[in-house]
Chains A and B, each alone.
Chain A
Amino acid sequence: MTAHLVRILDRVTRVRGVRGAMLVAAEDGLVIAESLMEGVRGNALAALAAALAGRLGRAAAATGVGSATFVHLEAARGALLLVPAGQGVLLVTITDAGVNLGLARLEMLRAVAEVA
């Protein structure tokens, strides 16, 4: 089962500029499956991404835009991308600054469809 999930994550990590992808239990902030490059702290990524998703979800609900389908945190040296995968699971991707955002987003949405 885990191998199957990692294969799905590899679709995302194949995109140039992606440093890692993981499936995270959104409520707990714990790793379910991961495919990470050297130097990426998986437990930190999982916990922080889940916390951020929670905060943004509450803000989105208050504005009336509904539940988030894609989140992009843009920063000086990279980005964090989040896509809900259903059943309290988040697909989280961490990237370099120069990543092809459109491609990464597409692969994440396809990956989520396979996880569901």
Chain B
Amino acid sequence: MTDDIRALTAELARDPNSLAFLRLAEALRLREQLDAAATVVLAGLERHPDLADAHDLYARILADAGSLDAAREAWERAFALDSRHVGTLKGLAYLAFCDGDLDGALDRLESALGVDPTDESVVQALQTVREEAERRLAEGRLRAGTDIFAGFEGAEHGLLLADRRGLVLGGALRSVAGGDVAEEVAAYVAGAAQEAERTARLLDLGDWSAIVVEGAAGHLHLSAPAPEALLLVKRDRAVPPGRVALLARRAAATARGWLEAQRG
């Protein structure tokens, strides 16, 4: 038995009503002596049944032991006693995160931050949850978007369907470094399409059908498969422009089918 545990045990023996049981149970929990920690905190809860700190500590012991359902009950009891208890809010956020409820986790953590803006562990936890939320959003968007062009060569990084307002409808576009640039590029191509429409109209060229850009590091092919949509195909320089145009025509046909289906 270590000195701190010995000292806390002695203090508790002298005064069973003292709150030293909290520090003792926490010390035991940190040493992974979970059964002993639980025994101490439960004994303390018999004398202090309305102490949110104690319920919170018991919940953490249960969570460490893998009993998440029981931990949830303990944290809910703590929350009922004190809805601004930071430890409880963190605990409930942790459970929400485990359940995949990122919004719920963010709500709890933001409440905790509102109570104590200086708590670094809350700040760190918030960052973790937000990063996970962004990762899942990007993954979800990729999964949903690439489904339109499933089976097409380069569907996951070089085929983008956008509406005329510059919003992404589907597909995916990644930069050379691998970053998701779909939203940014959708906005730019909408502007380019407006400019192309004006240019063709004022120069009496008729309706525009495609814009091809040969770049230093790749080729772009922009077309309008439907009045409300724009399709951008991006390939690296090794792919000849004629082949990019062929791919764009096939992708445009697929996009038209998908758009038709959305119109119901």
Establish whether A and B are touching in the complex (CB under 8 Å).
yes
Interface residues of A (CB under 8 A from B): 41, 44-45, 48-49, 51-52, 55-56, 58-60, 62-80, 94
Contact of B209 with A74 in the complex, beta carbons under 8 Å:
yes
Which chain B residues border A48 with CB–CB below 8 Å?
A: 195, 198-199, 202-203
Determine the distance from Cα of A58 to Cα of B214 in the docked complex, in whole angstroms: 14
Q: Are A72 and B188 touching (Cβ within 8 A)?
A: no
Q: By the criterion CB–CB under 8 Å, are A65 and B206 in contact?
A: no
List residues of chain A with CB within 8 A of the CB of B198. 48
CB distance from A51 to the nearest CB of B (A): 6
List 18 A-B pairs, Cβ < 8 Å. Answer: A48-B195, A55-B191, A55-B195, A56-B195, A59-B220, A65-B215, A67-B216, A68-B215, A70-B213, A72-B212, A73-B196, A73-B199, A73-B205, A74-B208, A74-B211, A75-B205, A75-B208, A78-B206
Ranked nearest first, the 6 interchain pairs of A and B with the lowest CB-CB distance are A76-B206, A65-B215, A66-B216, A65-B218, A59-B188, A75-B205
The answer to whether A62 touches B208 (Cβ under 8 A) is no
Interface of chain A, main secondary structure? mixed
Report A49 CB to chain B, min CB distance, Å.
7
In angstroms, how far is the closest chain B Cβ from the Cβ of A11?
A: 20
Closest to B210 in A: A74
Scoring B residues 182 to 212 as 1 if CB is less than 8 Å from chain A, else 0, what string do you get?
Answer: 0011001101100110111011111111111
